[in-house]
C-alpha cells in the first residue's frame, strides 16, 4: 500500500534554528526525528516569502513558470501540475490546513476536511493543533491519505504561548515558539504510525531574528505579538475610505521606528549581519536575498526513509515534489519538473549540486527594487530583477558565510559565470500566456495586507 504522508510547512523557519548548535530552543522531538530520518541541512527555497515559495514548492517548478507571479500576483496557471493533483489521481485522500489567503491563488483544491482554511493569527496553541489531531483521528485506513499543514506560529507577529514564554525555552521569542511547535510535533506523531506514514517537515522561507546578545548587552527589537495581532484585526475591519490615512500613519511610524533603532544601535560595534537582522522592519523597498531568509530545514521520516542520515550538500525545495512522487510510487515525467527526486539518497561524493534559482517577493502598495539570483554551495549571486548591471551582489559563502562582504567588483569573472547560469534558467522555458486579472490581483493583495504586507 502507498504510504500516508504528512507534509508540514512551518512558515518562517530557519535551518540554523531547526538543527544546529546555534539555537537555545528546547526541541527534543525534532532532534529525535532527525536521528530517525534523513535530514537535508542545506535546503534552499526559491523565494523569500510565502506565495512565491508555495508556487515552487507545490509544483516542482521555478516561480516564474507557474503563472502566479508576473507584474502582479495572479492565480496559478491552470495547466500547471501540482502536488495535490498528482496525489489525488494516484488515489490519495487530501486533507489540509492553510491560512485563508491561500484560497485566492488557485493552488489548493477542495479537501476532505471543510475547515481547511484558518485565520492567519490562529496557532497550534489557540485551536489549530486540536483541529489537526481531530483530522488524524478521523482519517481512513482503507485509502492512503495526504495531510498538508502550513503553520503560521513563527510568522510575524510572534505570540509566545504563556507556558513557553521563559528563557528556559529560548533566548528569543522566535526560539521559544519553536519549543512550543516541538511539543505539538510530539502530539502529532503520537497519532500516526510511521511504519506506513512519511512525515516531511520543511519551511517556505526564513526570517530575521530581532534579538541578539552583544558582549554583555541584550538588544531586543522583537515586537509585542499580542498587541500587533490585535492591531491587525482592528485594521482589517477599517473602512476602505480611511486606507490613505492608515498607510500614511504606517509609513510615518516605520520611519520613526527606524530612526530610533539607529540611535540605539550606534552605541554598539555591530557587524552587517546583526545590523540587517535588527533593522529589518515590516517593509523595505531595497530587497535582498540573504541566507537567513532562504535556508530552510528539510526532513523526511518514516516508511522507507533512511535513518540517522545528515545530507550536507545543497538541495532545492523544487526537489520535494519529485521526491514525494518517488516515495508514493507515482509515475511522472521528469520534464514536468525543474526539480529532481532526492531519494534514493546518493552518496554525497557522487551528488552533483544543482544551482538554485532565487527571487525576492514584491511589495504591494509601493514599488520595490526586487532581485533575482543564483545560489551554489560556494557562492551567492543576486542582482536587480530588471537589470543585470544594477544592485549586483556576490558573496563567497565558504569564507564569508554571513554574507557581509560583497565581492562583485573584485570577482567579475565569477559574476559573469553566475549570470550565465541565471540567464540559462530564465530563457530555457516555454513562455506562459498569463491572463492577468486586476480583480484577482486585488483580492490576493487584500489578503496579504491583512497579514501586514505592504
Nearest to 200 by CA among 215, 179, 220, 185: 185
What pairing do the DSSP bridges indicate for beta strands 37-44 and 309-311? parallel
How distant, in Å, are the alpha carbons of 57, 93, 136, 329, 403 from that of 87?
Answer: 15, 8, 18, 10, 39
Region of 304 on the Ramachandran plot (φ > 0 left; ψ -120 to 50 alpha; else beta): left
Same domain for 365 and 440, yes or no, is no
pLDDT in tens, 116-136: 999 888 999 999 999 999 999
Alpha helices in 146-242 (DSSP H): 173-189, 225-236
Position 113 scores a pLDDT of 95
Examine the domain organization and report whether 105 and 205 are in the same domain.
Answer: yes
What pLDDT shows up at residue 275? 93
Reading the block at residue 438, the C-alpha cell is 486586476
Output the pLDDT for position 141: 74
pLDDT by residue (tens digit) across 24-57? 999 999 999 999 999 999 999 999 989 899 999 9
pLDDT at 129: 97
More confident residue, 69 or 350: 350
* Cell (9 digits) for 357: 534559482
- Shared-domain flag, residues 247 and 365: no
pLDDT given for residue 444 in this prediction: 58
Q: Which residue has the higher pLDDT, 447 or 293?
A: 293
- Residue 15 CA to residue 293 CA, distance in Å, equals 10
Cα 131 to the center of its chain, rounded Å: 22
* DSSP letter assigned to residue 293: G
**Cα separation values, 1 from 59, 90, 194, 195, 278, Å:** 24, 12, 14, 12, 50
Per-residue pLDDT tens digits for 380-399: 999 999 999 999 999 999 99
CATH of the domain at 52: 3.40.720.10
pTM metric for this prediction:
0.92
User: Residue 156: what pLDDT?
Assistant: 85
**What dihedral angle (degrees, nearest 10) is formed by the CA atoms of 402, 408, 410, 414?**
100
Query: Can the peptide bond before residue 343 be classed as cis, meaning omega within 30 degrees of 0?
Result: no
Q: Computed from CA positions of residues 278, 280, 286, 292, in that sequence, does the dihedral angle turn out positive or negative?
A: positive
Q: 202 near 297, Cβ under 8 Å?
A: yes
Sign (positive/negative) of CA torsion 450, 97, 16, 60?
Answer: negative
> Could you report how far apart the first and last alpha carbons of the chain are, in Å?
47
Q: Single out the residue of 80, 44, 85, 29 nearest to residue 290, CA to CA.
A: 44
- Higher-confidence residue of 330 and 280: namely 330
In a shared domain, residues 173 and 211: yes
Same domain? For 229 and 245 the reply is yes
Stronger pLDDT, 336 or 324, i.e. the higher one: 324
Burial bucket for residue 440 (CB in 10 Å: 0-12, 13-18, 19+): middle
**b/e 230-266 (16+ beta carbons within 10 angstroms → b):** eebeeeeeeeeeeeeeeeeebeeeeeeeeeebeeebe
Shared domain check, 444 and 428 = no
Whether residues 327 and 200 fall in one domain: yes
Q: What is the DSSP string of 3-41?
A: PEEEEEEETT--HHHHSSSS-----HHHHHHHHTEEEEE
Query: What is the grid cell recorded at 400?
Result: 564569508
Whole-number pLDDT of residue 331? 86
The rounded distance, in Å, linking the Cα atoms of 125 and 108 is 25
What is the domain extent for residue 409? Answer: 356-434
Whether residue 440 sits in one domain with residue 404: no
The closest alpha carbon to 59, from 411, 346, 320, 299, belongs to 320
CATH of the domain at 418: 3.30.1120.10
In the chain, what percentage of residues exceed pLDDT 90? 68
Residue in 138, 40, 56, 12 with CA at minimum distance from that of residue 425: 56
Q: Do 265 and 382 fall into the same domain?
A: no
Same-domain status, 257 and 146 = yes
DSSP H or E run through 310: strand 309-311
Do residue 91 and residue 159 come from a single domain? Answer: yes
Domain count, the chain: 2
Q: Is the pLDDT of residue 269 over 80?
A: yes
- 258 in the same domain as 142: yes
Please give the residue that has the higher pLDDT: either 41 or 225.
41
Report yes or no: 84 and 94 within 8 Å, Cβ to Cβ: yes
Distance CA 393, CA 302 (A): 40
Amino acid at each position: 500500500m502507498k504510504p500516508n504522508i504528512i507534509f508540514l510547512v512551518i512558515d518562517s523557519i530557519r535551518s540554523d534554528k531547526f538543527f544546529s548548535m546555534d539555537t537555545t530552543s528546547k526541541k527534543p522531538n525534532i532532534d529525535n526525528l532527525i536521528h530517525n530520518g534523513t535530514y537535508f541541512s542545506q535546503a534552499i527555497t526559491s523565494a523569500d516569502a510565502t506565495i512565491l515559495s508555495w508556487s515552487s514548492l507545490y509544483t516542482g517548478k521555478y516561480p516564474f513558470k507557474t503563472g502566479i507571479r508576473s507584474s502582479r500576483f495572479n492565480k496559478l496557471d491552470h495547466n500547471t501540475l501540482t502536488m495535490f493533483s498528482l496525489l489525488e489521481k494516484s488515489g490519495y485522500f487530501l486533507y489540509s490546513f492553510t491560512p485563508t489567503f491561500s484560497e485566492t491563488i488557485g493552488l489548493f483544491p477542495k479537501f476532505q476536511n471543510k475547515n481547511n482554511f484558518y485565520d492567519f493569527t490562529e496557532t497550534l496553541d489557540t485551536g489549530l493543533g486540536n483541529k489537526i489531531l481531530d483530522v488524524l483521528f478521523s482519517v481512513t485506513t482503507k485509502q492512503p491519505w495526504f495531510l498538508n499543514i502550513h503553520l503560521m506560529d513563527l510568522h510575524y507577529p510572534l505570540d509566545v504561548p504563556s507556558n513557553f514564554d521563559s528563557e528556559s525555552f529560548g533566548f528569543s521569542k522566535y526560539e521559544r515558539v519553536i519549543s512550543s511547535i516541538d511539543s505539538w510535533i510530539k502530539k502529532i506523531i503520537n497519532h500516526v504510525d510511521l511504519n506506513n506514514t512519511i512525515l516531511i517537515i520543511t519551511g517556505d522561507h526564513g526570517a530575521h531574528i530581532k534579538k541578539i546578545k552583544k558582549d554583555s548587552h541584550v538588544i531586543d527589537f522583537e515586537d509585542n505579538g499580542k498587541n500587533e495581532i490585535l492591531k491587525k484585526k482592528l485594521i482589517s475591519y477599517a473602512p476602505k475610505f480611511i486606507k490613505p490615512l492608515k498607510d500614511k500613519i504606517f509609513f510615518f511610524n516605520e520611519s520613526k521606528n527606524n530612526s530610533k533603532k539607529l540611535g540605539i544601535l550606534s552605541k554598539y560595534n555591530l557587524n552587517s549581519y546583526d545590523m540587517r537582522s535588527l533593522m529589518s522592519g515590516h517593509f523595505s523597498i531595497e530587497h535582498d536575498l540573504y541566507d537567513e531568509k532562504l535556508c530552510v530545514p528539510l526532513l523526511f521520516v518514516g516508511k522507507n526513509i533512511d535513518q540517522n542520515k545528515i545530507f550536507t550538500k545543497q538541495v532545492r525545495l523544487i526537489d520535494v515534489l519529485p521526491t514525494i512522487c518517488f516515495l508514493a510510487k507515482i509515475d511522472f515525467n521528469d520534464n514536468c519538473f525543474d526539480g529532481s527526486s532526492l531519494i534514493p539518497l546518493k552518496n554525497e561524493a557522487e551528488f552533483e549540486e544543482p544551482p538554485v534559482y532565487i527571487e525576492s517577493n514584491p511589495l504591494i502598495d509601493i514599488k520595490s527594487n526586487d532581485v533575482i539570483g543564483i545560489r551554489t554551495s560556494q557562492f551567492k549571486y543576486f542582482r536587480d530583477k530588471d537589470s543585470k548591471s544594477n544592485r549586483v551582489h556576490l558573496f563567497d559563502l565558504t569564507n564569508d558565510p554571513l554574507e557581509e562582504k560583497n565581492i562583485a567588483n573584485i570577482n567579475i569573472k565569477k559574476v559573469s559565470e553566475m549570470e550565465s547560469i541565471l540567464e540559462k534558467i530564465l530563457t530555457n522555458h516555454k513562455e506562459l500566456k498569463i491572463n492577468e486579472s486586476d480583480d484577482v490581483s486585488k483580492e490576493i493583495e487584500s489578503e496579504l495586507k491583512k497579514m501586514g504586507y505592504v
